[in-house]
Structure 1
Amino acid sequence: MGWTLLKKIRAIITGATGMVGEGVLRECLSNADVEQVLIINRKPSGISHPKLKEIIHGDFFDLTPIENELAGYNACYFCLGVSSVGMKEEEYRRVTYDLTLGVATLLSRINADMVFCYVSGASTDSTEQGKSMWARVKGKTENDLLKLPFRRAYLFRPGYMHPTKGALYTQKYYYAFSWLYPLLRRLFPKHVITLRELGIAMIRSVNIDYPKSVLEVKDIIDISRK
């Protein structure tokens, strides 16, 4: 793994009103290497900070009304996503593949120096041929993101993510299991990380040349500790 010349990071974050996106946002706001953060939400995040700018925009399938405000950034932390539970494949593909590729295609066109970090999921199917619907859709999303002309694209595949203390948008059932985290980390080290480790790894990915594009839990932890 090699390091590039250190660049101050100007990051776009999607999904900041979700657990993962908020965790990444909080790491960015506390990290000196990040000089500016833009979050795009459908509703206000309730978070304010001197280096934070927020755009409220209702239609992620059409970012042309705010396109001019998306230029000049060198990182995107794409944390927007939905569960596939109860969804048909066509619907899930639209809000996972179509939406993600639409946003990414636009950003790759107007920000040639961008590193794009996509929060995928453990067990994503890179072959696009497996039985699991969500894993196939995520696999195609990953594969097609790698074809876009970003400086680098990293596909993060976290397993269980231990939430950030004090976060506003942690799903309640995570608190029910949070006391098990130390045990889970010891028993399943290849499947358990913290949201802090994910955020730090995303920040550091902008200034490294990691040998892999698909990042499993062990890779995420490795990058976060470098």
Structure 2
Amino acid sequence: MPQASPVKKSAVVFGATGLVGKELLKLLLSDNSYKKVTAVTRKKMLINHEKLIQVEIKDYNELANFSDKLHADAYFCCIGTTIKKAGSQEAFRKVDHDIPVIIGQLAEDLSVPSLVIISSIGANASSSNFYLRTKGEMEASVRKVYSGSLKFVRPSLLMGKREEFRFGEKTAIVFMIIFGWLFFGPMKRYKGIDAVKVASAMIKLADERSGKLVYESDELENLVI
């Protein structure tokens, strides 16, 4: 008796133009287990692929209005900015806290089975550091609105080529290229990680149904070895 073909999946990528989001989109489009990939972006990307559907949205507060186009087996949230780029702490929080929560609520409303979100190493709702506190509060807020299979990935310094220039990040990447070999044992989680490895790990985690919620940077590395 012939075996039934595996059911192919669909995915939605939020933040598909960022460093990890771009790598994630490429991997999903080349993954034969996914039949459809929807990219939610603020402006249309110059990419054509038979599996790709693009949804342009200017205001994430209106995300629910696009719900008919966003049914999927897995959501991947790669949304993130910097305080400098956002212009203020308030504007930064609207992106790095509020948008993932909106995405989590939609995933709950549409019964999306799996949600994988990029957070940050050191995320802690009790941190005195505004950036890390915001990431920690985001994680806590998403947990309140989404009851499916939820995974937070906490990468260290992301290695890869961004469209925008970040001087501090570039300096840190050069340091990591030279001295990264010194990061081992308990320090391994602070070693820089390639964006494509984070993306690959996120795809694996979308199929993971264990109760584990948070994956640190060194654990992401181990997933794709």
TM-score by length of 2: 0.83
Give the conservation status (yes or no) of the 8 Å contact 2:152–2:213: yes
Cα 1:41–1:52, aligned 2, differ >3 Å: closer, same or farther?
same
- Residue by residue over 1:126-163, the C-alpha shift from the partner in whole angstroms, topping out at 9 and shown as x without a partner, is xx222101111110111122233342111111112222
Deviation at 1:113, TM superposition (A): 4.2
Aligned to 2:160: 163
Aligned to 1:81: 80
| Larger relative contact order (Cα-Cα within 8 Å, sequence gap ≥ 6) | 1
Once residues 101 and 146 of structure 1 are traced to their aligned partners in structure 2, the CA distance between those partners, rounded to angstroms, is 9
SS at match of 2:105: helix
AA at the equivalent of 1:186 = W
Size of the alignment, in residue pairs?
A: 212
Give the conservation status (yes or no) of the 8 Å contact 2:42–2:58: yes
The 5 A counterparts of 1:193-204 are: 193-204=193-204
What is the identity percentage for the equivalent residue pairs of Structure 1 and Structure 2? 22
Aligned to 2:127: 130
Aligned to 1:186: 181
Cα 1:44–1:135, aligned 2, differ >3 Å: closer, same or farther?
same
Once residues 209 and 186 of structure 1 are traced to their aligned partners in structure 2, the CA distance between those partners, rounded to angstroms, is 33
The 5 A counterparts of 1:65-144 are: 65-71=65-71, 73-85=72-84, 87-110=87-110, 112-125=111-124, 128-144=125-141
Structure 2: state its 5+ residue gaps.
Answer: 1-5
Aligned to 2:42: 42
Deviation at 1:172, TM superposition (A): 4.0
SS at match of 1:190: helix
Structure 1: state its 5+ residue gaps.
Answer: 1-5
Once residues 131 and 30 of structure 1 are traced to their aligned partners in structure 2, the CA distance between those partners, rounded to angstroms, is 42
**Structure number with bigger Rg:** 2
SS at match of 2:145: coil
Aligned to 1:3: none
Give the conservation status (yes or no) of the 8 Å contact 2:116–2:206: no
User: Over aligned residue pairs, what C-alpha RMSD do you find?
Assistant: 2.4
- Residue by residue over 1:7-63, the C-alpha shift from the partner in whole angstroms, topping out at 9 and shown as x without a partner, is 633111011122221121112112222221100111111122111110112111211
AA at the equivalent of 2:120 = G
- Residue by residue over 1:179-217, the C-alpha shift from the partner in whole angstroms, topping out at 9 and shown as x without a partner, is 666544422342321112111111111222345211111
Query: Is the helix fraction higher in 1 or 2?
Result: 2
Deviation at 1:70, TM superposition (A): 0.9
Cα 1:8–1:61, aligned 2, differ >3 Å: closer, same or farther?
same
Cα 1:7–1:143, aligned 2, differ >3 Å: closer, same or farther?
farther
Cα 1:18–1:220, aligned 2, differ >3 Å: closer, same or farther?
same
Give the conservation status (yes or no) of the 8 Å contact 1:7–1:207: no
Once residues 212 and 52 of structure 2 are traced to their aligned partners in structure 1, the CA distance between those partners, rounded to angstroms, is 30
2:3 aligned with 1:8: no
Once residues 33 and 181 of structure 1 are traced to their aligned partners in structure 2, the CA distance between those partners, rounded to angstroms, is 34
TM-score by length of 1: 0.82
* Stretch of structure 1 that moved more, 129-138 or 85-94: 85-94
Cα 1:81–1:207, aligned 2, differ >3 Å: closer, same or farther?
same
Cα 1:133–1:7, aligned 2, differ >3 Å: closer, same or farther?
farther
